[in-house]
A and B are shown apart, each in its own frame.
Chain A
Amino acid sequence: MGAVIQISYFLAAVLFILGLKRMSSPVTARGGIVWAGVGMLVATFVTFFWHGLDNYTLMIAAIAIGSIAAWVSGKRVAMTAMPQMIALYNGMGGGAAAAIAAVELVRGADGHSQAVMGLAVAGGLIGTVSFSGSLIAFAKLQGLIKRSIVFPMQQPFNLAVLAAAAVIGGMLPFQEAGGTLVFVFFALVLAFGVLMTLPIGGADMPVVISLYNALTGLAVGFEGFVLNNAAMIIAGTVVGAAGSLLTQLMAKAMNRSIANVLFGAFGHAPQAAATDSEGGTLKPIDPDDAGIMMAYSSKVVVVPGYGMAVAQAQHKIWELAELLEERGVRVKFAIHPVAGRMPGHMNVLLAEAGVPYDKIYDLDEINPEFPTADVALVIGANDVVNPVARTNPESPIYGMPILNVDQSKNVLVIKRGQGKGFSGIENALFGKDNTRMLYGDAQDMVGKLIQAVKRL
Chain B
Amino acid sequence: MIEGFTALYIFMLAAFTGYEVIARVPVILHTPLMSGSNFVHGIVLVGAMVALGHADSNLERWIGFFGVLLASMNAVGGYVVTERMLEMFKSSKGDR
Contacts and interface: CB of A to CB of B under 8 A. Distances in A.
A342 B33 CA distance: 12
B18 A86 contact: no
A44 B45 contact: yes
A23 B89 CA distance: 11
Contacts of A249: 25, 27, 30
B69 to A, nearest CB: 4
Contact of A100 (B36, B44, B89): B44
B38 A74 contact: no
B27 A343 contact: yes
B30 A246 contact: yes
Contacts of A326: none
Most buried by B among A70, A71, A82, A210: A70
Interface residues of B, number: 84
A24 B83 contact: no
B48 to A, nearest CB: 5
Contacts of A237: 10-11, 14-15, 18
Contacts, number: 391
Nearest to B64: A103
Contacts of B80: 70-71, 74-75
Contacts of A216: 38, 41, 44
Interface string A225-257: 101111111111111111111100110010000
Given A33-B86, A99-B67, A53 B50 contact: yes
Interface stretch (A165-173, A355-363, A378-386): A355-363
A244 B34 CA distance: 10
B50 A47 contact: yes
Interface residues of A, number: 117
B47 A20 contact: no
A153 interface: no
Interface of A: 9, 12, 16-17, 19-21, 23-27, 29-30, 32-34, 36-37, 40, 43-44, 47-48, 50, 52-56, 58-59, 61-63, 65-67, 69-71, 73-75, 77, 79, 82-83, 85-86, 88-90, 92-93, 95-100, 102-104, 106-107, 178, 209-210, 213, 216-217, 220-221, 223-225, 227-246, 249-250, 253, 335, 337, 342-345, 347-348, 351-352, 354, 356-360, 362
Nearest 3 A/B pairs, CB to CB: A99-B67, A53-B53, A241-B18
21 contacts: A24-B33, A33-B82, A33-B83, A36-B39, A54-B53, A70-B72, A86-B34, A92-B74, A95-B67, A96-B67, A96-B74, A103-B63, A220-B44, A231-B46, A237-B15, A238-B40, A239-B37, A241-B15, A343-B27, A358-B91, A362-B27
